[in-house]
Amino acid sequence: MDNIKLDFQKHIDAGRCNGAEWIINYKNKRYHEVIGFNDLNCENKLKKNSYYRIWSMTKPIIGFAAMQLIDKQFLSLDDTIDKYLPKFKNLKKLQSLNSKIDETKQVDNIPSIRQLLQHTAGFTYNSSNNFLAEAYENNKLFHSSSRSLEEEIDSISDLPLLYEPGSNWHYSISIDILARILEVVTKDKILNILKENIFFPLEMNETNFFISEDKNKHLVETFEYNSVKSKLTELNFDKRKLILYGYPSNNKNFSRGGHGLYSTAEDYIKFAKMLVDGKDKNAKPLINLETLKSIRTNSLSKNLFPIEITALNTIKDENYENDLDGYGWGLGFRVLMNNTPQNKYGVIGEFGWSGYAATYFLVDPINDLSAVLMMQILDADKNIKKDFYNNIFKSL
């Protein structure tokens, strides 16, 4: 923990980070630390159990809820999405990955629930570098803080897929579609599904799509890292950036699948710790053990590798590193398959995910280890997460 704190202090002193909070569970030991500030002027100290926009760390929670419902036979991994969302029956796809939005043909197969979890279904993100992503942006998909999840998903059904389902791995809005399917099969709102099946059993009382006004003062401010100037700055709301996505703190009706949840380090570590064996603190299983194993086992065929997330502003220069080098993809989580030059220390089978504003978590079931890192920095320097990760695994 001393090494981790020293590294964070170096990043703070260098202007790459303003503050961070982390919790590590290792067997029966628990370490919880916070360092730095909540602002750029270093006036307000960051406090433990602040609230964070966890962005894409919403996805593993939605994916886990889906697998719980598959266990209960509400749906099947091989169900196609049009079974629950009829508007997706007549899907088209771009003729190629580089085709324009009007250059389409009929899909051979409708995407399945499995492909939504795998990110092989054919959807994209508005920040990606393709013509479909540009169409997402022009249609302002997910930009609204007031439109319902149902309305957003209906809008997607009018657009083609980027590719034939199953033929590529491409990080996308597919978990938003999955969240809407869960609402359809349960005839309930996604928040209620999460509360009943995950939040209440794990006592994750501070995780929600909504935080009350009195808790807003504990919400950590979001900044971004300017790699050219090598310092943190205020947010830049450029077109095609995910920061344009709606993320209100005061709308009780707001919900999404790929982002939208607020959480604390204390709350999220409960979810991460549960993923070691699938049980709550009273040893009650939340999921079938075989299902849990399938979640954290690579599910992709060899032709889909290497997996990689790039955006419109990605620069592949001599300093570029693919964060997912050595990783496969399970059903909602990255899964470490091989150590690489930039990941020498991770334990094979380690899994987890991250969020747009530099939130991050990992689970190592072999060593009964789980860890959560909370920050609020867009385009954060990758060495911050790497130092955190390496310090953990080098210490085992």
What CATH number is given for 69-186 in this structure? Answer: 1.20.58
Closest CA to 18 of 33, 32, 7, 8: 8
How many CB atoms are closer than 10 A to CB 337? 17
Residue 88: DSSP 8-state:
G
CATH 1.20.58 range(s) for the chain read: 69-186
Predicted model pTM: 0.97
Q: What is the pLDDT of residue 213?
A: 84
Rounded Cα distance, 9 and 18, in Å: 9
Q: What is the pLDDT of residue 318?
A: 87
Give the Å distances, CA to CA, from 153 to 30, 98, 160, 292, 348: 40, 24, 13, 28, 36
Burial 60-71 (b: 16+ CB within 10 A, else e): bbbbbbbbbbbe
Give the Å distances, CA to CA, from 379 to 27, 155, 310, 367: 32, 28, 12, 31
CATH 3.40.710.10 range(s) for the chain read: 2-55+203-394
For the chain, the maximum distance between any two Cα atoms, rounded to a whole number of angstroms, is 58
Handedness of CA 36, 37, 38, 41 (dihedral sign): negative
72 backbone dihedrals φ, ψ, rounded to 5°? -90, 5
Closest CA to 271 of 1, 23, 98, 88: 23
What is the fold of 2-55+203-394? Beta-lactamase (3.40.710)
The mean pLDDT values, 10 residues at a time, for the chain of 396 residues are: 94 96 96 96 94 98 98 98 97 97 98 98 97 97 97 97 98 98 98 98 98 90 94 94 95 97 98 98 97 98 97 88 96 97 95 98 98 97 96 94
